[in-house]
A and B are shown apart, each in its own frame.
Chain A
Amino acid sequence: MDWKYLPIFPESASNFAPHVDALYAYLVAVSAFFSIAIAVVIVAFAYKYQRKSDSEIPVPLNEHGAGSMLLEITWSVIPLLLSLVMFGWGAIIFFNESKPPADAMEIWVTGKQWMWKIQHLEGTREINELHIPVNRNIRLTLTSEDVIHDFFVPAFRTKTDVVPGRYTTEWFRPTKVGQYHLFCAEYCGTKHSGMVGTVYVMNAADYEAWLTGGGAGTAPMADKGAALFQELGCVTCHQADGKGRSPKLAGLYGSRVELKGGAVVTADASYIRESILNPLAKIVNGYEPIMPTFQGLATEDQIQQLIEYVKSIGTKSNVAASPGAEKAGPEQRIPLPGNAPAKGVPAKTPGAQQ
């Protein structure tokens, strides 16, 4: 049999893939050991202790009837310990998957029945295709326009639900140039199985060529956001000098905002999105709740552009100012071989420009 047609592993093309495959190997080994051991013992007992005559009645094992506290403890504790290894190992991988590095290149993803819409910061947009450079940390910020979808790239061993009304994030570092399946993994209606695409992992030069070629004449997301900021009239109240009726937005992104009532929140993408669509949810201390909702006036794509504009007019500091930033401090990440950003590569890849 040609193993090409009976593969066991999908392609391994991200920083996470080797770790997930190693954990999988451990799980398969433990499972195979117990499955085979139990099968062998059952067959052996069934053969060795087969009934010799209809009247045969076996003698009790001991005076208490059948049972042994020592055995019960043994076969409770050993599986528990093996299980806790599975828990810990899986938790470490998961923890790292949930903490995008600060230097990750950001890409916006919007799911809708039944397509994937991608926006690059440089302004390039794609549908059902995602072009990314190899060996760069990539962070996707995902949302949905309708039902729940799920962004799944088997070769990367990562997956995240794409939920309407909120941002989720997924990050990875592609390690191998190639083309990989992109699947929607959360059932989303009639053409769920048609909501598929291709991830193109390219070397830096090819990626740069693609970016300038494919995105010719397209303004960066932040510039589009700046235009929208005028067009939608945001600028009337959110004045650059801070003298308007609403807070000034320069330097907002990533900062801590004090709300009416004393609560403090980090101004990340989710906060800005909520403030545009549901402005009364969180009122900045010292301001009046006068902002109208932009629900229905700004699309998900446009909100993403507005967020990029707000980002572009100054972030609070040099830390990871991004969706999920409040729990994404790089210092919290557990070092896992190969998971730490490749030294010097992410920020300094030749040709990688902002």
Chain B
Amino acid sequence: MLTATKPPEKSTNYLTDGYGLKSWLLTSDHKRIAILYLISITFFFFIGGIFAAMIRLELATPDGGLLESDVYNKMFTMHGIVMIFFFLIPSIPATLGNFLIPPMIGAKDLAFPKINLLSWYIYVVGGIFTLYVLITGGVDTGWTFYTPFSTSYSNTKVMAAAVGIFIAGFSSILTGLNFIVTIHRMRAPGLSWFRLPLFVWANYATAMIQILGTPVVAVTILLVAMERGLHIGIFDPALGGDPVLFQHLFWFYSHPAVYIMILPSMGVISEIISTFSRRKPFGYTFIAFSSVAIAVFGFLVWGHHLFVSSQSVYAGMVFSVLSYIVAIPSAIKVFNWTATLYKGSVTLSTPMLYAIGFIGLFTIGGLTGLFLASLGMDVHLTDTYFVVAHFHYVMVGGAIMGYLSGLHFWWPKMTGKMYPVLWSKVAAVMVFLGFNLTFFPQFILGYLGMPRRYHVYPPEFQVYNVLSSAGATVLGLGYLIPFIYLMWSLKYGKDAGPNPWGATGLEWQIPSPPPTANFDVTPVVTVEAYEYHAQEVVEVG
């Protein structure tokens, strides 16, 4: 029916703006691409989780009776590859960052919307290679692909797995590039650098690492391919190569990659601690610059993975002291988050529970990193379960807690729906307790000397392994519950409204879910970030 005046399109948002598979697969809307990423990384998270479950099930007994050694080795390799390259690295930037950076800076989209879609397709192609590897027999080199084992000895699907990672790397580079250009060029009038939300600062620092570090791992993979496929001697001493060279190249990317995983989580935590204590983050500029400092110093510490590799003693000392320096910015963040609560108005909503859990687990993860940076201590601890526990505290206790915290914080913005409060709090507590039960015993196992990547182990280590496997059960359930109630909330959840948490960011000034263009009129920013006092005067809607 044609009428002169169109009814107000109040109900149109990015979700209702076009239906059908095509409208999603060909979209250039950053919010829809974020959802595509969200679905893909959730898929890979559960695949990686299945491998973790198999590992913990096997290690409940010392004799290795459940799986063959070859199968077990493939389990931990695929767990690492899937979780790191297909879940953790894209997790926050590609989902929450993609969805939120444009509205946070008052923009309608990222600088290159089509490249944004391209990056998702590249990620999917990389993922398909990885699934191909899984289905056709797997790979057993460990996610670290150490040479000459990976180039001359393993007879599993090394090349296909490496190609998958190589391809996925370009997705990461394109996302980083898009963020950097967007943050430089598309900030709303009045939104100066020091009015940016700390989440944007963190993603900016992450993007720097993505575009500077990822090419190095791509080159390294090419060198592995040249040696494995063409027998050009690069790493294998039998061909005239140097096996330790690979470790330098690999960790030159893969250590900064740890910061790709953790920095965005730190950004999430800064937002959430502030919102749920209604206080500007204590030491805003220190938190902002600590992200940049981590990104810069993170490139100078790769050699701390090589203390026992036959690297020179003096190089070891330099890398050790630099590793302590990179720890300081992380400490600054933790102290500032804690201080933000002081004389605040604190409420323990679900995102805040996850955020506090993050601080606890990340603090332990960071402090145990100090053990490993200490040369004489690392000689005993490296390649044991202490290392496994340490990086899970950082990457799971840190990165995934931050991701879940952010997902619960912005879920009402992304979907317009609220999830059940009680269930979400139960899940947050379960994840925290289950995590500690899983990984804390592994610190002790490591000091006792249990090496990592052991399929069969001496029986005296069994008690701690049983505790760890029991914790993994709780942790797994804790991850499953949010999946269920978040899906449930899409249909049955209460409408959330534009700003359910009383937060200050620009993304909370627009409806939930946001309209396709985010803002009808480009906003003009006249206040500092996190001005809880000025809230009433900022236009809502």
Contacts and interface: CB of A to CB of B under 8 A. Distances in A.
B447 A24 contact: yes
B532 interface: yes
Size category of the B interface is 35 or more
Contacts of A344: none
B284 A183 contact: no
Nearest to B149: A147
B105 interface: no
A335 to B, nearest CB: 15
Given A38-B338, A86-B370, A187-B146, A10 B447 contact: yes
B447 A164 contact: no
Contacts of B368: 31
A148 B149 contact: yes
Given A24-B377, A46-B341, A164-B237, A181 B458 contact: yes
A318 interface: no
Contact of A20 (B334, B376, B382): B376
B360 A39 contact: yes
A161 to B, nearest CB: 5
Interface string A183-196: 11111111111100
Nearest to A34: B367
Contacts of A51: 278, 345-347
Contacts, number: 285
Contacts of A249: none
A27 interface: yes
Nearest to B371: A27
Contact of B321 (A10, A16, A59, A87): A87
Interface residues of A, number: 88
A164 B237 CA distance: 7
B345 A87 contact: no
Please indicate which of the listed interface residues B237, B345, B374 has the most CB atoms of chain A within 10 Å of its own CB.
Answer: B374
A61 to B, nearest CB: 7
A158 B142 CA distance: 23
A218 interface: no
A80 B45 CA distance: 36
A75 B331 contact: yes
A66 B452 CA distance: 44
A160 interface: yes
A193 B456 contact: yes
Contacts of B316: 94
A90 B375 contact: yes
Nearest to A6: B463
B455 interface: yes
Interface string A18-30: 0110011001001
Contacts of A60: 280, 533
A66 B454 contact: no
A94 B379 contact: yes
B373 A66 contact: no
Contact of A166 (B277, B310, B360, B382): B310
B373 A86 contact: yes
Nearest to B241: A165
Interface stretch (A121-129, A149-157, A225-233): A149-157
Interface in B360-385: 360, 363-364, 367-368, 370-371, 373-380, 382-384
B335 interface: yes
B309 interface: yes
A19 B356 CA distance: 36
B325 to A, nearest CB: 8
Given A67-B282, A75-B331, A193-B455, A91 B376 contact: yes
A302 interface: no
A113 to B, nearest CB: 7
Given A38-B360, A150-B308, A161-B310, 13 more contacts: A6-B463, A27-B377, A65-B280, A67-B284, A84-B324, A86-B373, A93-B376, A94-B376, A113-B153, A154-B380, A163-B310, A185-B451, A192-B454
8 contacts: A6-B464, A27-B374, A66-B339, A71-B339, A87-B373, A148-B148, A159-B380, A187-B144
Q: Which 6 A-B pairs have the closest CB atoms?
A: A154-B449, A93-B376, A165-B237, A90-B374, A94-B375, A45-B341
